[in-house]
Structure formats: structure tokens, C-alpha cells
Structure 1
Amino acid sequence: MEQKNQSPLKRIWALAEVEHSRLKFSIILAVLGVLSGFIPYFCAGKIIIMLLEQTADMQSCIPWLILALAGSLGKVLLTTFSTAWSHKATFAVLAEVRNKCVHKLAKLSMGTLQNQSVGRWKSILVDQIESMETTLAHLLPEMTSNVLSPLVLIITLFFIDWRLALLSIATLPIGMIFMMTTMKSYPVKYQESVQIGKKMNDSIVEYINGIEVIKAYNQGQEAYKGYVDAVDANASFFYGWMKSAQFGMACYRNFSPAVLIGVLPAGLAFYLSKSITSSEFIMIMILSMGIVGPIIAASNFIDSLAQTGTIIESIETILKAPEQHHPKESVTLSGMDIEMNHVSFAYEKEQGNILTDITLKIRQGTVNAFVGPSGSGKSTLSKLIAGFWDIETGSIRIGGKEISKIPLTQIADQIAYVSQDNFLFDDTIRENIRMGKENASDKEVEEVARKAGCDAFIRGLERGYETKVGGGGAHLSGGERQRIAIARAMLKDAPIVILDEATAYIDPENEAVLQKAISKLVQGKTLIMIAHRLSTIVSADQIILVDQGKISAAGTHKQLLQESELYQNMWNAHIGAKDGEQE
């Protein structure tokens, strides 16, 4: 049976596999705790019986009082220890689930990652997994004990008088009918709530991410309205849902505990007909009142159980997502030549190919440039070489090995990739650069920063290399972020360097410095550059002209000027733009 067809309880238990021993111990303690809680009921019944029979005195009551106290203390202690053990297990499980999800994300293609919004990933990895804490920590021990303990109590009642035992649980089915009518639509309603919550999360994330544009174009009122509408829709949905469930749940909570409705009149009739004794009647009355409380407490977890079932489905969208197919064992590469043979690629099949029948060779140690109109597929080419996606048509080889036969970690070790939108972590400048080489010394970090043309501006900051860059590098300008990202890539010292429009945010003065630094730092390496400014790649060993997903031409700058009309037009447009800037 597939896991998705299993009950939510079984799926939770499977998810918590690494902590089964702790959870089992917690369940045992919880059951013992609930059973201890019944002891005072039993003791109270004995004392009342002795009072009615006029046999009670202090000496005879003290043992029952001590036993009742012991039962109450036992319940408190056992429940406390049960909760402590279940929470230890729960936090370990949540950590394990998060680690598995994050580890899995690194194995997914960029397409899979980009198909979901940032708000969606944040909702799953932070909010939804965190919301499982209450369910895991309390549901398994408490729900189990609250179901098993009443069963023990009912069995005890059957030993006293089976007729009253049946009557003591007669109101439960009536209450359950009301609850079932309410819970019938629960899975659908909860799934709707998840979708509405997702829209609200996405709206919040979009509003925050776009605040600069909103302020710049004075769209605050319109953008805020979209956020408010999403929040109001979320609140309105939950209000309507709770209102529709109110009557059924109220009936359930009032009918289910009304055990004495049947026990009192029937018990009195049985007593008057002398089919039960007064002591049996009193004991049944007292014990029957302890049946429904734990059952209602257990039913309170039905809501959490259904929610957790939906959350697990969300988690499984990550854990069961198709991975990129690469081996784990490193392979031997024969140099760093890159070959693409008849490669076609589409992000989504129904949207058609982005690249069609691409065949090219990039030799080790050469400087290569991908150029072409916007949207022609240049960045896609570089990302395929970097292993961000797996291809289904054609082949890509690095060092003579099919890229799908090379472990993703080994591919990452061979390639330093810098895009125009590189991400910086909310850490110091020094640590962001050091990510290129974890064991790099401070001197190495500063030396590569100097060569990348960012040492001067870093030292000009109040805290220098210890300056925190803010979330995503928000405290720095686009050009500053880019130079730090390039320094990080250079420090990595990978044999293949891919610069995807990496100088897009660099001003002309610093671009000249950076180009000079790059030319020194990539000596002996295979360099792939993507740039709109054709003047930056005129000295490239090979310029590959990409147009509408196909290679239109390839050669040196001089060769393309002679052979390609499209390249001539691009070059003339570029020179004209530069002349315009100088004027």
C-alpha cells in the first residue's frame, strides 16, 4: 500500500521512525498516567459506599485517601514525564525532517525549485513543519492513552453490571453522529485553508520583496490592497468554516458526556428491583463519569490529525520529488573540455524547447563567450553546463564524462558560477567571500578581494571585512554585491568559471579593473562568459552566437564580424550605444 493511502496516524508514525523507542516509552507513561487518574474515582466510590453503609471512620478512610492522593500525584508525574519524553522525540523528529527536506532540495533541479514560490517553500520548511510539534508531542501519547484508558474503565463496568455499562456509553454514538456530520467535509475544508494560507503567504512575501518598486512608483495603496484582500480572504474563510461547524460540535460536546441520563434512571430501577446492590450502583455512577472525558480529549486530536496528514503531503512533495540522476562516487575526468552534442531542452514540455539541437565544444583553458539577443537561451546553456538541470535529449560531457555520470558535488567542485543576481548571506563580507573556500585564511580572502577590485571599498566601510551585508546583501550596492560574488568564485579556484552577465552591475571604471583581474585569475582555466557588452569579449578565443535557442555562428570576434550579419548588427548597435554614452 502506498503511503499516501495510509491513515494519517500511520503516516505520522512512519515519519517519526527515528524516535520510535522514545515515543513508545512516552505512550506507556501516558497510559499509566490516565489509569492513575481513575484511582481517585474508585477511592471516592469506596468512601461514599462506606458512608452510606455507616461503616466509615477515620481509620478505614485514611488508606483510601492515601491511595487517592497517590493516584493524583502519579497522574501528574507520569503525565509530566510522558510529555517530556515525547517533546524530546518530537524536536528530534522535526530536526530530522527539516534536515531531510533541505538535503533533498540540493538534489532537485532548479526547475523544480523555481516552480514553487519562496512563500511556499518557507511555509513548508518553517511554518508547516513547526505546526506538527503539538501533534507529534501530544497526539501519539495522549490520544493513545485517552483511547486505551476508557476501554479499561468500560471493561471494569461490564464486570460490575453489563447493562449499565452499555448505558454508560449510549450517548457516545449520538454525539459521534453530530461530530461526523461536521468532520465529513474537514479534509476538503482544510485543503482549501492551506491554499488560502499559501496565497496569503505569497502575497506577504511579494509585498515585502517588492516594497522598493511599490514606493518608487507610488503604488502603495494598490499593492497594500492586494495584501489586505489576501488577509481578509483568509480570515473570512476560517470564520465561515468555524460557523458552519459550530452546531455539530456543540451537540457533540453536550450529548457525549451526558452518561448519567441513562445510568441514573436505569440504575435506580435495577436497584429497586434488587438486581444490583447500592454499592454497585454508586460505583458505576462514579466510574461512568470518567469515561467520556478522555474520549473527548482524544477526539480533540482528530482536527490535528487531519491537519498533519495534509502537512505530511506537503513535506512529501519535497521528499518524493524526482531528483537529478547522478552517481555518488567520484569519477576521473580527462581534462576540462566541455562538449554538447545535439542538446535540446525545455523547462516545461508544453511550452516548447528553449534550446534546440545544440552542438559545441569548449576547450580547456580557453575563454569563451555566449552572446545573442535577450531570451535566446544563453543563460540556459550555462546552467545546463553547471548541472542545474538534467537533459533528456542529447549529451553534455565534461572531461570526457557524461555529465549525468558525474556526482553533483563533483560538478560543483569543478565549476565556479557567478550570475548577475548572486545571493549574499546575512553575514560578514569576509565570511561571504570565504564560502568559496571554507578553510581560506583571512589573508587569502583579502588578497582575492583586492584582485577582484573590491578591497578598497570594503576597507572604506566602518567595519571593513567584518561588515554585515544584510539579508541578500541589502546593505551593499548591486555593483558591490557583484564584486564580492566574483571574489568568492575566484577564491574557489575551480577549473571552470562561468560568468553569467557577472559585470552587469559594474560601473565602467570598475569594470575595467575587474576585467583585468578576471583575466589574471582565470589563467589556465576554462572561462565561459555571458555578456551584453560585446566590447568585453572581443578577445575571447571563441564567441558562440545564440539565436532563438540555436547556435547561429561560432568563432573569433573578427570571424563573426565577417561571417555573421546578426553579430555585425549587434556589434554596430553596441558601438553606437557606447558613442552615445560618451557624448
Structure 2
Amino acid sequence: MNEKSPLLRLWELGNSEHTPLKKSIFLAVIGVLFGMLPYFAAAQIIISLMKDRHDYKFYVVGAIVAILGYLLRAVLYALALSVSHKATFSVLKSIRESILEKLPKLPLGTIIDTSSGEMKQIIVDQVESMERPLAHLLPEMIANILGPVCILIYLLILDWRMALLSIISIPLGSIFMGVVMKNYAAQYEGSVKTNSEMNTAIVEYISGIEVIKAFNQGKQSYAKFSKKIKANAFYFYHWMKSCQFFVSLSKSIVPTTLITILPVGFLLYQKGSIGVDVFITTIILSLGIAGPIIAAMNFVDSLAKVGTIVGSIDVILKSEEQQHGKEKVELPDASIYMDNVSFGYHEDKEILHQVSLQIPSGSLTAFVGPSGSGKSTIAKLIAGFWDIKQGYIKIGGTDIKDIPLSQLYSEVSFVSQDNYLFDETILENIRMGDTNASDEDVIRVSIASGCDDFIRKLDQGYNTVAGSKGTHLSGGERQRISIARAMLKDAPIIIFDEATAYIDPENEAIIQQAVGNLIKDKTVIIIAHRLSTIIDADQIFLISDGIVDDHGKHDELLQRNFLYKTMWQAHIGVKDGDEL
């Protein structure tokens, strides 16, 4: 099945505003037609002067018609743009909302594989660049093409030879525009790519400024940053340079209608083949053909861009979603069961190999193993961040694919070592756990998680802004806030992915107590490198190279599993060394 044309797809994206967009096109077309009245009036006035007509009233009426034509064209044009812009900004809002609604439905890997700079360019820059095609291209281009077509039809009725003479320069000029447009789509796609690389470099440079300073890499990092910006400027400069001559030539040739009309028309007039009325009318009206055609040509680049713009947006809007049930299901408990789960973030590389495990409701389970063994991947699959294609995962006896994503996300709290804090107040950051929670509820969980003391010592207390990614707070403070957020969410399943990694020793007891308050009567999964923190777990799964190597209690694994024993001895050795 053939894919829809970019312009048709653009029209589809604006389906919520089709009526006002059609209205704007209608107003613009009528405006262009009224804009032709001055040419008709001028032609009649000149013909009458040549015939020595002395009817003063006729010339006044002609002048009034010309002025009214200009005024009506201006009013209708302004009205058409007003209607189209209101509709367009509504469409852009709708498209952005569709993208933002789509993102949570995508597998986490799809989001991770797209840089924040590229995502920003699609959602902000490329959606914004649709304003010109929607608000201007549709009404103006259609109107500017239809107007000259109406004039051409009128000229064909007067004299087909003069009509053809009036448009010879248009296809000739369009040949040079065709040279430009031949590779325009590919060149524009290249400009999007280089612009995206520049945006990514800017975001990376700003986000990594702390590391850059700490390791004195300012010169090298700035060089990379500067290189991408210069590459973007270089690309656009040479692209425009390669187009400039042909575009200028095209726009110079298209309006030269008189080059053919004057000499050939004069010969036809001398031979008596056409009358002076037809000759003068053709001369005047031909001037009304070129202007709108040139205006329409200004939108040719917008037409070429539409394909790339719509394609980039559809990369998100048409991406494969996670397939989950739509109706809420009753879960009798918070037990977790995995059976023969194999998974890879990308099809060419499998990370988990036939993983099977069972976690009773209300139990404390730990995942341990070497870095990169697949511990966090298992936890994220349970949390529903990806869908699996082999094996199955059940929560409360129900396959998670039958659980709506919104319900699944409500069932699981995921606390990692890199929890994101928004550039909002601490109060609102904690309230992310439950947006309906009162201030008193937020303060209650803050006390329970050991946050209240340090929060109240801040300049603005709970109204202190955390900063982008929580940069105004220490790592330990961010972790404690993330634990408070999880407590407020009160989900039956809690996953800690190295959640206490940034906690300093003096606050560790406070955090352990906070975690203890959080996990009461919950199904808890802890991913830990510090084995001393999980020795009291109900069961420990040892994950190695994407498989479950062994499982049991701490003492059992210590007795029978060499890898676990080695990890424990290494941990104890490091711990003893720290104490020294």
C-alpha cells in the first residue's frame, strides 16, 4: 500500500481544524480574485483613454473598483491569515499533546535511544516549523495558483494565442527552480540532521559542564561543541550558496511576460489579427499572473520541507506502542512470577536468557550479581518499562500485558540511584508521587523518610526550588526526596535500584529506618552491590550473564555458591578497609 503524500499527511494531522482551514483557503482565494479587479479596471481605463472616451463617471467608477479590489484583497487576506493562524496554533498544540501522550506508551528503550537534543528538536523546533506550511502554504499557495488560473481562462476566451504568450516565461523560469528542487528534500533532511547534532552537542555540553570543569576538559569539550555549531553553519551556508543563483534566475525570468507579449502581440495587432482591446487587456492582466505565481513559488521550499517534518513527527507518533490491556483488572496480591523470559534492548543482542523466578507477595527479595549481569533489566521489565516477546511476567497472577499501563505504573514504585527531580519546589517534587496529596500528606511522608529536618533548614523550606535535575541539592538529599515520593505513592510493589548509593554514613541509619517504614507490608525488590544491606532478605537471586545463577537466603548462598562467596568476601574486605 502506498504511503500518503506528506501534504496529505499534514492535512490529516490538522484534522481537528479542517473547517477553519478550509474557511481560510476560501477567504484567501476570494481575496486573490478581488486583487485581480485593479488589473481589469486598469485595462479598461487605458483602452478608454486610447479611444479618447470623455466619460468622467466611467473613470471614477474604474478607479473606485480598483481601490475596492485592493482593499477587499487586503481585508480578506488578513482575515484568511487570522483564521488559518488560530487553526494552525491549535493544530500544533494538538500535535505536541499527541506526542507527549505517545511518549509514555513507548518502550523506554525507544526514548533512551533518542537524544534529548533530538527529541527537543522534534517536539519544539520541527513542530513549530509546521506553522508556515499550515498557516500560509495551504491558503496562500492555493489562492495564488487559482488566481492566475482564472486570469488564464479569461485570456483564453479573449485570444488563446495571447494567453499562451502570457505564460511562456513561467515554465522557463520554473526549469531553474526545478534544478534547485531536485535534491531539496535530501538537502533539507541533511540540515535537520546537522541541526539535531548541534542541539545534542549543546545539551551535552551544558549538562556535562560540572564534569568538564572537574577534569579540566574545557578546551576539548568546547572544541567538540564548537565543531558541531560550525558544521551546522557551514552546511546551511553552502546549501544556500548552491541554490542562490538558480533561485534568483528563476524569479527574474518568471515575471518577464512582456518579453513575448509586446513584440508578438504588436505583430498580431499590426496584421489585424487582434484588436487593441485584447492587446492592452493581455498586457495588463499578464502582470497579474506573474505576481501570484512568484508568491506561490516562495512556498516551494515549504512543500519540500513538509516530507521531512512530517516524517520526523511520525517517527514518534507511529512508533510501536507497548501493547497492554485497556480495562482495569483486579489483582488479589502483589506476587511476581517470571517464566522463561528472554529479552534484549535491541533485536541483535539478547541480555536475559530464559529467566524464571517467583517473588511472593509481601516478601523482601534482593537481586545481586556483577555489573551488567541483567539485574536492573529484570526490575525494569517487572515495572513495565519494556514489553517482552518471549516468556511472560505475572503480577498477582495476571500477565502484565493484560494490565493497563496506567494501572501497572500505579502498582510499582521504582526508586533508583538517579531519580529525576524537576525544576519545581521540593513540595511539588514529592507530590509527584500522588498529585492529589495535600501539603500535610507531603510533610508526613517527609518526616517518615527523614527529609523534614534538612528541608526546613533550606532558605525557602518546602518551597525551595530543586533546580534542573535537582542540582540545588546534594545526591543524598535527592535520594531521600525520591524515597519520600515513593512513600507518598504507596504502591504495593517497590523496587530499589541502588537507591541508597548516595547516602552518607551519618545519615544511613535514618534512611534505613525510612526504607523500613516504606516497605512495610509491601513486595520489595532490592538491587544492591553492598551485600551487607540485604543479608536479611527473604530470598536473594544471584544474576550472572543474564541468567539466574542461584537463589536462596544469604547463609545458603554463602555456603554453596562460589561467585556469591567471592562477592561477599570482596564486599567485606572493602568494608573493613573503609573502616580502617
Could you tell me the TM-score, scaled by structure 1's length?
Answer: 0.98
Q: Does 2:16 align with 1:29?
A: no
Amino acid at match of 1:76: A
Deviation at 1:500, TM superposition (A): 0.7
Q: Per-residue CA shift, 1:97-139, capped at 9, x if unaligned?
A: 1111111111110111111111111111111101111111000
- In 2, Cα distance between equivalents of 1:258 and 1:243: 24
Contact 2:174 2:254 in 1 (8 A): yes
Contact 2:185 2:307 in 1 (8 A): no
* Deviates further, 538-547 or 21-30: 538-547
- In 2, Cα distance between equivalents of 1:271 and 1:499: 92
Contact 1:174 1:255 in 2 (8 A): yes
1:206 aligned to which of 190, 201, 204: 204
RMSD, matched Cα: 1.2
- In 2, Cα distance between equivalents of 1:346 and 1:127: 32
2:560 aligned to which of 555, 560, 563: 563
Equivalence for 1:305: 303
Equivalence for 1:458: 455
2:9 aligned to which of 11, 23, 30: 11
Contact 1:47 1:56 in 2 (8 A): no
Give 5+ residue unaligned stretches, structure 2. Answer: none
Aligned residues: 580
Q: Does 2:178 align with 1:180?
A: yes
- In 2, Cα distance between equivalents of 1:417 and 1:255: 66
1:401 aligned to which of 398, 409, 424: 398
Deviation at 1:324, TM superposition (A): 0.8
Q: Per-residue CA shift, 1:458-482, capped at 9, x if unaligned?
A: 0000100011111111111111111
- In 2, Cα distance between equivalents of 1:526 and 1:31: 66
* Deviates further, 505-514 or 141-150: 505-514
> Secondary structure of 2:355's partner?
strand
Amino acid at match of 2:441: E
- In 2, Cα distance between equivalents of 1:463 and 1:182: 59
- In 2, Cα distance between equivalents of 1:354 and 1:253: 59
Could you tell me the TM-score, scaled by structure 2's length?
Answer: 0.98
Equivalence for 1:117: 115
2:491 aligned to which of 494, 508, 533: 494
Q: Does 2:381 align with 1:392?
A: no
> Secondary structure of 1:275's partner?
coil
- In 2, Cα distance between equivalents of 1:227 and 1:308: 29
Q: Per-residue CA shift, 1:552-579, capped at 9, x if unaligned?
A: 2211222222222222221222122122
Q: Does 2:375 align with 1:378?
A: yes
Deviation at 1:285, TM superposition (A): 0.6
> Secondary structure of 1:358's partner?
strand
- 1:51-450 aligned within 5 A: 51-351=49-349, 353-450=350-447
- In 2, Cα distance between equivalents of 1:81 and 1:327: 47
- In 2, Cα distance between equivalents of 1:459 and 1:131: 46
- In 1, Cα distance between equivalents of 2:6 and 2:437: 48
> Secondary structure of 2:521's partner?
coil
- In 2, Cα distance between equivalents of 1:560 and 1:170: 89
Contact 1:150 1:294 in 2 (8 A): yes
- In 2, Cα distance between equivalents of 1:126 and 1:522: 41
Contact 1:8 1:306 in 2 (8 A): no
Deviation at 1:286, TM superposition (A): 0.6
Contact 2:415 2:499 in 1 (8 A): yes
Give 5+ residue unaligned stretches, structure 1. Answer: none
- In 1, Cα distance between equivalents of 2:125 and 2:476: 34
- In 2, Cα distance between equivalents of 1:182 and 1:360: 62
- In 2, Cα distance between equivalents of 1:56 and 1:327: 83
Percent of residue pairs bearing the same amino acid type:
54
Q: Per-residue CA shift, 1:5-50, capped at 9, x if unaligned?
A: x332222212211111111000000001111111111111222222
* Deviates further, 110-119 or 380-389: 110-119
Equivalence for 1:551: 548
> Secondary structure of 2:299's partner?
helix
Q: Per-residue CA shift, 1:374-415, capped at 9, x if unaligned?
A: 111111110010011111111111000111111111111111
- In 2, Cα distance between equivalents of 1:498 and 1:28: 58
Deviation at 1:57, TM superposition (A): 4.5
> Secondary structure of 1:539's partner?
coil
